[in-house]
Structure 1
Amino acid sequence: MALSGGRLLGKVSVITASTDGIGFAIAKRFLKEGSKVVISSRKQQNVDSALEKLVKVADELNIPPTNLHGLVCHVGKSEDRVILVDETVKKFGGLNILVSNAAVSPAFGNIYDVDEKAFDKIMDTNVQASFLLCKEALPHLRKAGNGSILFVSSIGAYLPLPGVGAYCVSKTALLGLTKNLATEFARFGIRVNCLAPGIIKTKFSEPLTGNEAATELYMKVIPMQRFGDPDEMGGPAVFLCSDDASYVTGETLMATGGINSRL
């Protein structure tokens, strides 16, 4: 088995919430493309389990396991964000790519029934923490040159999903954050883009994908007639963070199985 293409060869990547689902799939694909990868999660046991799986992938590809590192990081905590960036730079000598994937959705139901505490948690984790992590990483991305930031948004940014309205609002905010940071960071040689997955089969999306009535409803708007697989998000993420997208910044790539969407 060989590298998928080596499009991230020599790069150092940090990916938040990357021990499962879409984040893990991106980490696995980045590893296959030659990047040194730092994964993170709020729980040490999740980090350990994901690292074990990734080491097996590395072994199959004859990639040194030293290309992998894992850290506990609650993105909503300032001290954790600092440690995540600083430890990455300390271990690998720099930082080239930041993928902000962490998100929460503690409230389910009508958006007007979401209480202030839950709404604040959603916005703090999904939007504010992403912004603050970018600020933490900025000096290192500038120093490395040709840096890349990728926010993971959602089809919910464009098409409100029943029951998770506040989450969708936070994902729409990431589109604006992408545009603004891309404009300001361009002069530093840093590209900022966004990936908006459709409905992907993960633990996070089980309330939607595991519900028969919801599945029947969504199949009416997904031309490909299926939910996405996490691994299908790895390729688009690699494209946006690699030199293949060297003239792409401030954009959102939709990976939704054909769901029609627009703001």
Structure 2
Amino acid sequence: MLARFNLDFSGRTVLVVGGSGGIGNAIAQTFRGHGATVHVWGTKADARAYADVADSNLEGLHYQQMDVSNFDAIESYQPPFDRLDVLVQSQGFVLYRRQEFEIPSFQKVLGVNLTSLMACSNKFEPMLTKSRGSMIVVSSSAAYHATRGNPAYNASKAGAVGLVRTLAQTFAEKGVRVNGIAPGLIPTRLTAITTDDAKRSEAALARIPMGRFGTPEEMAGVALFLASPLAGYVTGQTILADGGMLL
């Protein structure tokens, strides 16, 4: 029976929130490589502003600027597409040097990493219902362990895992599947404070049974699976993709 399933997304429309760089960008380009028309949201004014960003490749993608902490802007957004098959929410933000212990910073991180997930879900649920589509939330392995110095990031990622479960239960009767990915240590701009530091990198690798960091492309493979018919009976799950780090 599985032989009839494939990973061809031709004729499908995908929106990747946070698709301008890192894991989100790899997911966007992977869907494009499998035939989808892919739109991405990022924070910069236009696609040209990402020309010198190392982990960004916007070739073939349809870019639009969006501040996901502006919930009114999300609600009033007029999409340039008339159908949506896959919504990937890969927005992420972290503040270091104990900034997250201050309430304004704590709220700012939660606004981007958690509340905006709900805002985007509300905005695009009608389109996903019409297409009987799929939503994928990129959280973090940080949802499952303490993160010293980053209480807001930790709380937001744990909240994202819980939100996936509740939205999956809510949307199941509408034919919409909701799942998540919890990446481990993946070298991106967000994790550079660890992966680009020799001492921290060595300590981190010592905790990973596979002995290496993951790649954005490997996370994109999980997203492709979750959006495909191969995962047609999977909903409410967040797949931990961490090389065995939390075993």
> TM-score, normalized by length of structure 2?
0.89
- Contact 2:142–2:157 (CA under 8 A) maintained in structure 1: yes
Inter-partner Cα distance in structure 1 for 2:98 and 2:70: 27
Structure 1 counterpart of 2:183: 197
Give 1:176's aligned residue.
162
Inter-partner Cα distance in structure 2 for 1:75 and 1:110: 20
Residue 48 of structure 1, CA deviation:
5.7
1:109 partner amino acid: R
Q: Distance in 1 between matches of 2:177 and 2:145?
A: 26
Q: Does residue 181 of structure 2 align to residue 188 of structure 1? A: no
Structure 1 position 251, deviation (Å): 0.2
* Cα shift at 1:15: 0.5
Q: Secondary structure at the match of 1:76?
A: coil
Cα distance, 1:166–1:78 mapped onto 2, change above 3 Å? closer
Structure 2 distance, partners of 1:108, 1:193, is 32
Cα 1:164–1:41 change in 2 (3 A) is same
User: 2:36 is matched with which residue?
Assistant: 35
Equivalent residues, number = 238
Cross-structure match for 2:83: 94
**Aligned partners of 1:41 and 1:47 also within 8 Å:** no
Match of 1:128 among 115, 125, 129: 115
1:44 match: secondary structure: coil
In 2 relative to 1, CA 223–237 (structure 1 residues): closer, same or farther, beyond 3 Å?
A: same
Measure the CA separation in 2 of the matches of 1:189 and 1:23: 24
> What is the TM-score with the length of structure 1 in the denominator?
0.84
Between the aligned partners of 2:165 and 2:7, the Cα distance in structure 1 is: 28
Overall identity of the aligned pairs, in %: 33
Distance 1:165 1:7 in 2: 40
In structure 1, give the amino acid aligned to 2:88: V
Q: Which residue of 2 aligns with 1:25?
A: 26
1:104/1:167 contact within 8 Å kept: yes
Secondary structure at 1:92's aligned position in 2?
coil
CA RMSD in angstroms comes to 2.0
Query: 2:20 touches 2:58 (CA, 8 Å); kept in 1?
Result: no
Distance 2:186 2:209 in 1: 14
Aligned to 1:256: 242
Assess if the C-alpha contact under 8 Å between 1:201 and 1:228 holds in 2.
yes
- Please name the residue that 1:232 is paired with: 218
Aligned to 2:150: 164
Question: 1:61 — aligned with what?
Answer: none
Q: Which runs of 5+ in 1 are unaligned?
A: 56-64
Determine if contact 1:44/1:72 at 8 Å carries over to the other structure.
yes
* Structure with the larger helix share: 1
Structure 1 237/73 Cα, relative in aligned 2: closer, same or farther at 3 Å?
A: same
Specify which of 89, 97, 113 is matched with residue 108 of structure 1: 97
CA contact (8 A) 1:6 1:34 kept: no
Whether 1:80 and 2:73 are equivalent positions in the alignment is yes
User: Any conservation in 1 of the 2:213–2:243 contact (CA below 8 Å)?
Assistant: yes
Out of 200, 203, 209, which is 1:217 matched to?
203
Unaligned runs of 5+ in 2: 1-5
Any idea what SS the aligned residue of 1:232 has?
helix
1:162/1:46 CA distance change after superposition, 3 Å: farther
Letter in 1 for 2:89: S
Instruction: Check whether the contact 1:197–1:255 (CA below 8 A) recurs between aligned residues.
Output: yes
> Per-residue deviation at 1:229?
1.5
Partner SS state of residue 188, structure 2: coil
TM-superposition CA deviations, 1:186-206 (whole Å, max 9, x none): 000000000000110001111
